[in-house]
């Protein structure tokens, strides 16, 4: 990160809320969105931190998100809950649906939450970590806009299509948790590289002719991102399109891009979250099986392997002790929006 300032976490939360309310978001949405971006900044996931406020504001100004819609919960079946976000950002819809999802998972052993008609920008690990704190195993995925060419293709069709998985490890141990895009890199990382004037690895994207390029602007404007792992990443991205699109009656990334119609707003679509209660699956064997899982993690660590999210948890400790690092140009931009000067 270039020249940076340090903000106490409560000040960052207050700044984000003030900015969002000044720009027109109702207070419940402002608070929920702010909690999400501050969590990303706290864990040094900068592409999903305070920087995302810029996209939230642009999407509102473009008329592509509701600033005040109240989510509507539908208790569909013993194992399925749906929440209609009403065209607003996904955070309030998730917060409404999560306790019902937890209750259903504990009752049935497995349950699913579908969030429909939402605008989505956030990291999935935030949602999954909350479920692991309830003792559940969880998986989530969502499409995005059509920014990624399928393996062997030359034009954007698939989304970055992130997926996340979490496994609880007890009160004193952070969960085993991964969250990654099925593209070679998160789009936010390419956007940050363009803002900072940096080149990117050629495997991240292609130009309009299908040729690899290290210029982030070329990838973002007229080119396409690439899936990770060639055909394997492309297949996983397609799985996400289907699970979080047609299966729950919502949009694919291509359809989300068509809905945007050139406005440059954040993706509009759905999200699916699955939760498993290991106690219901295992009964009396719960403790023994969870300990076997710990043995797997221990053997990984013994080889020197880094478990996913370890760096993020280390960053969290630093931030809790010292405050959040924020790039000075970004802070100035956010402050202007919060003061109504932009």
Structure tokens at 22: 């000044």
Contact between 42 and 245 (Cβ < 8 Å): no
Query: Whole-angstrom Cα distance, residue 149 to residue 273?
Result: 25
Structure tokens at 275: 């939760």
Phi, psi (rounded to 5 degrees) for 54: -65, -45
Query: Whole-angstrom Cα distance, residue 88 to residue 99?
Result: 20
Long-range (24+ apart) CB contacts under 8 A made by 201-206 are 206/149, 206/154
Note if 58 is an active site residue. no
Q: Which of 29, 43, 48, 250 is catalytic?
A: 48
Query: Whole-angstrom Cα distance, residue 54 to residue 337?
Result: 9
Query: Whole-angstrom Cα distance, residue 253 to residue 268?
Result: 8
Q: Which of 84, 189, 250, 277 is catalytic?
A: 189
Note if 189 is an active site residue. yes
Q: Which helix (H) or strand (E) holds 190?
A: helix 187-196
Q: β-strands 110-119, 80-84: how paired?
A: parallel
Note if 48 is an active site residue. yes
Q: β-strands 137-141, 163-167: how paired?
A: antiparallel
Half-sphere exposure of 14 (CA within 13 A, CB side): 5
The set of catalytic residues is: 47-48, 189
């Amino acid at each position: 990160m270039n020249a940076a300032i340090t903000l106490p976490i409560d000040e960052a939360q207050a700044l984000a809320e003030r900015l969002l309310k000044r720009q027109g978001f109702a207070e419940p949405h402002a608070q929920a969105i702010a909690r999400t971006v501050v969590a990303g900044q706290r864990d040094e996931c900068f592409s999903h931190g305070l920087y995302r406020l810029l996209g939230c504001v642009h999407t509102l100004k473009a008329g592509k998100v509701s600033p005040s819609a109240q989510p509507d919960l539908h208790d569909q079946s013993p194992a399925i809950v749906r929440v209609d976000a009403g065209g607003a950002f996904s955070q309030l819809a998730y917060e409404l649906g999560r306790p019902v999802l937890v209750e259903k998972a504990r009752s049935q052993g497995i349950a699913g939450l579908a969030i429909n008609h939402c605008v989505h920008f956030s990291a999935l690990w935030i949602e999954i970590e909350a479920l692991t704190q309830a003792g559940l195993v969880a998986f989530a995925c969502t499409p995005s806009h059509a920014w990624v060419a399928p393996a062997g293709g030359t034009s954007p069709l698939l989304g970055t299509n992130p997926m996340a998985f979490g496994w609880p490890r007890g009160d004193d141990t952070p969960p085993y948790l991964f969250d990654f895009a099925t593209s070679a890199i998160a789009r936010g990382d390419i956007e940050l590289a363009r803002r900072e004037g940096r080149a990117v690895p050629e495997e991240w994207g292609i130009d309009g002719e299908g040729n690899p390029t290290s210029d982030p602007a070329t990838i973002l404007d007229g080119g396409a991102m690439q899936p990770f792992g060639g055909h394997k990443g492309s297949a996983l991205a397609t799985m996400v399109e289907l699970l979080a699109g047609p299966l729950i009656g919502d949009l694919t990334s291509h359809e989300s891009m068509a809905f945007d119609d050139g406005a440059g707003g954040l993706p509009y679509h759905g999200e699916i979250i699955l939760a498993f209660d290991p106690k219901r699956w295992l009964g009396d064997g719960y403790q023994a099986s969870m300990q076997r899982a710990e043995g797997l993690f221990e053997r990984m660590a013994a080889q020197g392997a880094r478990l996913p999210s370890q760096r993020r948890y280390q960053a969290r400790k630093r931030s809790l002790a010292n405050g959040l690092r924020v790039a000075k140009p970004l802070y100035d931009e956010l402050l202007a929006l919060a003061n109504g000067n932009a």
